[in-house]
Amino acid sequence: MIDYSRDLLDKFIGVTSVANNGSMIRLYGGDQAWFETENGRAGGCGTVAAANILAYFGVLYGENTAVPDVGLFTENRCFTRELFIAHMHEVYRGLTPMKAPWQSWVRRGGREVHRRTVLRLPDSLGIHSPVRFSNAVIEMAKGKGVQLRVVWPQNTKGRRPANHAVGLDEAKSFILNQINKGMPVAMLNFGNKGLRGVEYQSAATGRRYSTDRFQWHWVVITGVKAQERFGADGDERPFPVVASSWGNRVILDLNQFWGRGLTHLVSFELV
């Protein structure tokens, strides 16, 4: 049995890939850009989050797996890009993003593309239900002989999936408790204005980016940077969480965006 811990979770999972300069790099989880379909590339962040969490718990789908395909394993959780893409595609079958009904999907040059509408509508509706997300993770883990249970945050009314009603302090307590046990926390944001202009550095290109895409996005929280709660002036200091997104390690300050849109948290533990 693996001793899950905060240190183990900080390492999370790695995916080896080739950077733009030709060197080998280790990414921090999968990337939805690797999906073959436009629906997957546009709305597959929840599917990738599920694939990352499953791999962390030793559940790997796909052909020609290089690690045991049933139960827990004690490898260094580092996979080739080809192996992890095969895993992602199988998870996609069990947790497919909802296609936008207004899109017209066509094939061009062997690739699935779509004709855009005149309205500025999203290309995919993604995985917008945390309950559907958690049920899929539980079922896919069970299919490989790993028993997981879902853990929701708790507010004054008890644990509940609709956890955007959870307060900031309750969210912090939930995240810290799960991280300290070595358990990842999936987070979904819906139209969260506090996540505009988030800066991150791409491991593949080395470039720094500023994006608004975290406003509508699934990530997996894998750590919390140590901070004093209050500064000398009495102001509350940042609560920076470490998260996996698009194969990168990103830092998001919970204080900056909590309560500025709908935010869902869900975690998993071994039974």
Residue 211 CA: distances (Å) to CA of 7, 104, 195 = 29, 27, 9
258 in a domain, yes or no? yes
97 in a domain, yes or no? yes
Place of tokens 């470039």: 207
Give me the pLDDT at residue 71, please.
41
Rounded Cα distance between 47 and 111, Å, is 20
Q: Domains in the chain: how many in total?
A: 1
In total, the chain counts a number of residues equal to 271
Give me the pLDDT at residue 187, please.
97
126 in a domain, yes or no? yes
Give me the pLDDT at residue 238, please.
87
Annotate 3-21 with b (16+ C-beta within 10 A) or e (fewer): ebebeebeebbbbebeeee
Ramachandran angles phi, psi of 68, nearest 5°: -55, 135
Give me the pLDDT at residue 38, please.
87
Ramachandran angles phi, psi of 169, nearest 5°: -65, -40
Domain that holds residue 38: 6-270
Q: Name the stretches of the chain with pLDDT < 70.
A: 1, 62-76, 102-122, 155-164, 226-236
Q: Minimal CA–CA distance to 184: which of 223, 212, 214?
A: 223
The strand pairing partners of 108, in sequence order, are 111
Q: Is 184 helix (H, G, I), strand (E, B) or coil?
A: coil
pLDDT tens, residue by residue, 129-164: 999 999 999 999 999 889 999 999 986 666 666 555
Rounded Cα distance between 75 and 107, Å, is 40
198 in a domain, yes or no? yes
**Contact between residue 190 and residue 252 where contact means Cβ atoms under 8 Å apart:** no
**Contact between residue 140 and residue 91 where contact means Cβ atoms under 8 Å apart:** yes
1 in a domain, yes or no? no
Give me the pLDDT at residue 114, please.
54
Q: Is 195 helix (H, G, I), strand (E, B) or coil?
A: helix
248 in a domain, yes or no? yes
261 in a domain, yes or no? yes
The strand pairing partners of 111, in sequence order, are 108
254 in a domain, yes or no? yes
Specify the pTM: 0.87
Strand order in the sheet with 248-253: 148-151, 262-270, 185-190, 217-224, 240-245, 248-253
DSSP conformation letters of 82-135 = HHHHHHHHHHHHHSPPEEPTT-EEEEETTEEEEEPPSS---SEEE---HHHHHH
Ramachandran angles phi, psi of 11, nearest 5°: -75, -30
Q: Is 262 left (phi over 0), alpha (psi -120 to 50) or beta?
A: beta
Give me the pLDDT at residue 123, please.
73
